[in-house]
Structure 1
Amino acid sequence: MSADQPMNLPADAGRSNTRAAGIAVSAFAVFSGADALVKLLAADLPAPQVTLVTTVVGLVLLLVYASVRGRLRSLVPRHPGLAVTRALLLGADTILIHYAFQLLPLSDVYLIAFLAPIMVAVLSFLLLGERLSRIAWLGVVLGFAGVAVALRPGAVELGIGHAAAFASTVLFALSLILLRRAKAAESDEALVATLLVVMTPLTLVTALGSTGLSAMDLDHVLIAVVAGTLGLGGHALLVRAFRAGEASVVAPFQYSQIIWGCLYGALLFAAPIDPYTIAGAVIIIFSGWLVLK
């Protein structure tokens, strides 16, 4: 829609947000599938190596796709500084959350990741000077209370896995703030390609400098290929969702991951569905709604 069509803006904006919501649901469903496979691989392989292998798979697939469609030039960002900064944030975020997946149940990691919309609001206040209403601040407090209910500090020992999940959430929130500026200036392919190109050496250095590389059998390779494919699809869908609609519409759909986390946890890892997890999730979802009102 061009800028000289103000009469169509409300209806078009509504349709755009509805489309963005549908894409967001698909994005987080695909991400959850990739996360479950990453956790499955991390049971046998070091987490940094899992991140490296799935990243390389995604990069190869993207290069093949762009080459077949004659769109290799679209992979080059117009504003490299912004794109690379966002990629570094997401690269570190991915390494940390994959490490958390290795140590914690999927549902626990997702609960902490659910703080992302709340962290976006807080960081926007701190870094961009955006104002928050009293209701939004109440949502911020409730969000952290929801995590406390779900994780029960004192009853459940908190460790480095929880710290890694929280740090990854902060980095993800910062990347979403940057995406607000980048989405109008860059193509979807450029944003995803920059992420994968930056992540490949970053994860390689991390893997070699921490745990080293372990031998992979055919099952590992096949699972990594599927996980990398799903991860690439999730990133592409998420960028498209934020391009299609408002961030305040897209971000809350991350909460749908608790359903997938509990489902995959039960089916693949025999993880029980904890009522405290459900209660905490409800509180966090309500708090996110208050923040985004």
Structure 2
Amino acid sequence: MPADLALQPARANLRAALLVPLAFSAFSGTDALVKRLTESLPVPQVTAMITLVALLLVILAAAATGRARALWPRHPGLAVLRAVLLAGDTLLIYYAFSALPLADAYVLAFLTPVLVALLAALFLHERLSRLAWLGVIAGFAGVIVALKPGETALTFGHAAALGSALLFALSLVLLRRTKAGESDLALVASVLVVLTLLSLATALAAGAFMAVTMGLAGLASLAGLLLFTGHMLLVRAFRLGDASVVAPFQYSQILWGCLYGALFFGAPVESHTLAGAAIIILSGWLVLK
């Protein structure tokens, strides 16, 4: 094989490794703004406002580049199923952000690689190595260390964060099947359309609409911009690089969660949270080996 061809996968993985931290930094910025917004507005309304802004940005991007047709998925069934999973994931994690410190919510979300491994073994009949099974066990041990059950009261926020990790894991399995045949715009637009409709329906059913000030509208617009940016960068990173290269960068969110929590919400950085996060990160690395 020519040397330049041999280097192509490595270059693609390097480009993905440069893009994906930017994606998760954008998502973390959105998360911090969501937590701030939910101090004044209901979670479904916040979700609807943010995703509507992001959806409009996707449509504008498609129109500006003459790719309006790329918004329609080639495989609507898979695209809508993935969109429903991510919509549920988003609503659950936004609720978790409203109820928990950012770092605590992220620790539970870090179970995604472990859950992906379990789902692959369960549904795709992929055999896990002994090292991977060790990683699975270590991942749940890390959750126990981080949450300190018996000393910390477990809430619906913790359950929501765990449910979010499960739905996100399912969406990643589907993304690996759909990414080759779909455009970036279709993958992102389908998620935002379903999430916007679902959050609006939830808000209407709960009667959860409140008056919005200009300041809150500005924060929601900024969060929508960051959400759009994060989705586009994440889809591009998964298209360029191997999943084993891209997925571990999710762990960078614990740093952002601790930073934003301390700066904007006065949340202390607990040693047991960091210890649990470190164990879960190690577990994810073992699963991906």
TM over 0.5: yes
Picking from 260, 274, 283, the partner of 1:278 is 274
Mapping 1:158-197, distance limit 5 Å: 158-197=154-193
Q: How far does residue 211 in structure 1 lie from its aligned partner after superposition?
A: 4.8
3-state SS of paired residue (2:208): coil
In the other structure, the counterpart of 2:19 is 23
Q: Alpha-carbon deviations, 1:16-70, whole Å to 9, x = none?
A: 1111111111111111001000110011111111111001000111111211221
Q: How far does residue 10 in structure 1 lie from its aligned partner after superposition?
A: 3.4
For 1:126 and 1:210, locate their aligned partners in 2 and report how far apart those are by CA, in whole Å.
36
Picking from 273, 276, 291, the partner of 2:287 is 291
How many corresponding residue pairs?
A: 289
CA contact (8 A) 1:104 1:161 kept: yes
Q: Calculate the aligned-residue CA RMSD, in Å.
A: 1.1
For 1:162 and 1:45, locate their aligned partners in 2 and report how far apart those are by CA, in whole Å.
21
Picking from 42, 60, 71, the partner of 1:64 is 60
In the other structure, the counterpart of 2:239 is 243
Match status 1:125 vs 2:121: yes
Q: How far does residue 210 in structure 1 lie from its aligned partner after superposition?
A: 2.5
3-state SS of paired residue (1:186): coil
Q: Alpha-carbon deviations, 1:214-249, whole Å to 9, x = none?
A: 111011100000001000110111101100011111
3-state SS of paired residue (1:184): coil
After TM superposition, where is structure 1 displaced by more than 6 Å over at least 4 residues in a row? none
For 1:193 and 1:101, locate their aligned partners in 2 and report how far apart those are by CA, in whole Å.
24
TM-score by length of structure 1 reads 0.97
Q: How far does residue 264 in structure 1 lie from its aligned partner after superposition?
A: 0.2
Q: Alpha-carbon deviations, 1:50-95, whole Å to 9, x = none?
A: 1110010001111112112211111111110111110000001101
Picking from 133, 137, 155, the partner of 1:137 is 133
TM-score by length of structure 2 reads 0.98
Picking from 93, 99, 104, the partner of 1:103 is 99
Structure 1 unaligned runs (5+)? Answer: none
For 2:206 and 2:275, locate their aligned partners in 1 and report how far apart those are by CA, in whole Å.
37
CA contact (8 A) 1:139 1:289 kept: yes
In the other structure, the counterpart of 1:208 is 204
Q: Alpha-carbon deviations, 1:198-217, whole Å to 9, x = none?
A: 11111111111225211110
CA contact (8 A) 1:46 1:211 kept: no
For 1:237 and 1:127, locate their aligned partners in 2 and report how far apart those are by CA, in whole Å.
28
